[in-house]
Amino acid sequence: MINLEIPKKFRPLTSQANQVATEVFRPISRKYDAEEHAYPKELDMLASLIDGMNEGSDMGGAGAAGVRREASDAEGENRNGSNLSTVLGIIELCWGDVGLLLSMPRQGLGNSAIASVATEEQLERYGGKWAAMAITEPEAGSDSASIRTTAELDGEEYVLNGEKIFVTSGDRADLIVVWATLDRSKGRAAIKSFIVERDNPGLKLDRLEHKLGIRASDTANFTLQDCRVPVEALLGSSDVEDRQGFGGAMQTFDNTRPLVAAMAVGVARASLEETRRLLSDAGVEVGYSTPALSQHAAAARFLEMEADYEAAWLLTLQAAWMADNGRPNSLQASMAKAKAGRTCVDVALGCVELCGSVGYGESELLEKWARDAKILDIFEGTQQIQLLIVARQLLGKSSSELR
Task: Tell me the helix, strand and coil percentages in the chain, rounded to 5.
Answer: 55, 15, 35
d(CA 314, CA 316): 5
Phi, psi dihedrals of residue 116, rounded to the nearest 5°: -75, -45
Residues carrying an active site annotation: 380
d(CA 380, CA 226): 27
Count of residues for the chain?
A: 403
Half-sphere exposure of 238 (CA within 13 A, CB side): 13
Cβ pair 106, 380 in contact under 8 A: no
Using a 10 angstrom Cβ sphere, with 0-12 exposed, 13-18 middle and 19 or more buried, the burial of residue 106 is buried
Cβ pair 59, 8 in contact under 8 A: no
List of residues 6+ apart from 375 with CB closer than 8 A: 211, 212, 213, 214
Three-state DSSP at 233 gives: helix
Residue 390's nearest CA partner among 311, 322, 345, 337 is: 337
Kindly give the interhelix angle for 245-281 and 330-360, rounded to the nearest 10 degrees: 30
Cβ pair 201, 228 in contact under 8 A: no
**Terminal-residue alpha carbon distance, the chain:** 35
List of residues 6+ apart from 176 with CB closer than 8 A: 110, 131, 132, 133, 134, 164, 167, 170, 195, 196, 198, 203, 222
Concatenate the DSSP letters of all residues of 301-356 into one string: HHHHHHHHHHHHHHHHHHHHHHHHTT---HHHHHHHHHHHHHHHHHHHHHHHHHHH
What is the biggest distance separating any 2 CA atoms in the chain, rounded to whole angstroms? 74
Cβ pair 365, 274 in contact under 8 A: yes
